[in-house]
Amino acid sequence: MRAPALPAILLLGLLAAAPAALAVNPDEMLPDPAQEARARALGQGLRCLVCQNESIDESEADIARDLRQIVREQIRAGQSDQQIERFLVDRYGDYVLLKPPFKPATLVLWLGPPLLLLVGAATAALFYRRRRGAPAPAEAPLSAEEQRRLERVLKEKGE
């Protein structure tokens, strides 16, 4: 390995090992470290409604900032984690949770991807089974005219 590449590899390794940057601004943080830790833990389980696959703790979207403020206000008001989650679910639906509960309304979220995977695998298996098991198309015999033309071409090539 060349020596100049080593620092770059080490830097990339450090960056990969570093914790994900969080979007929580210092002015949003609660003064009590225990309350702030609760807010962060709750924020990691709540979905940014704009970013969809980011928690509100990671997102820099305005709605995520608003949700972080709501969580912190609820914590300051003495609400439990369950009460805060219930408040947000009542307001935004189960979609606000990064891990929605398993219930009839969310069955599609939980069972949809595995079912689609199974249907795709079954379709691929049937396709390849039919393709492999199908006999090769039989060659049709030459018509009399085609046979005469073939003999004529072969005679010309032989001369």
**Residue 111, pLDDT above cutoff 90:** no
Give per-residue burial for 108-133: e unless 16+ CB within 10 Å, then b. eeeeeeeeeeeeeeeeeeeeeeeeee
Domains of the chain, earliest start first? 19-104 (1.10.8.640)
55 within 8 A of 98, measured Cβ to Cβ: yes
59 within 8 A of 50, measured Cβ to Cβ: yes
pLDDT interval class at 17 (50, 70, 90)? very low
pLDDT interval class at 18 (50, 70, 90)? very low
Best CA proximity match to 23, nearest among 63, 60, 49, 48: 60
- Can you state the angle between helices 81-92 and 33-44, rounded to 10 degrees? 40
SS3 46: strand
Widest distance between CA atoms in the chain:
104
Dig out the tokens for 120 from the structure.
């795709």
What local confidence, expressed as pLDDT, does residue 28 receive?
A: 77
69 within 8 A of 28, measured Cβ to Cβ: yes
pLDDT interval class at 87 (50, 70, 90)? very high
**Residue 113, pLDDT above cutoff 50:** yes
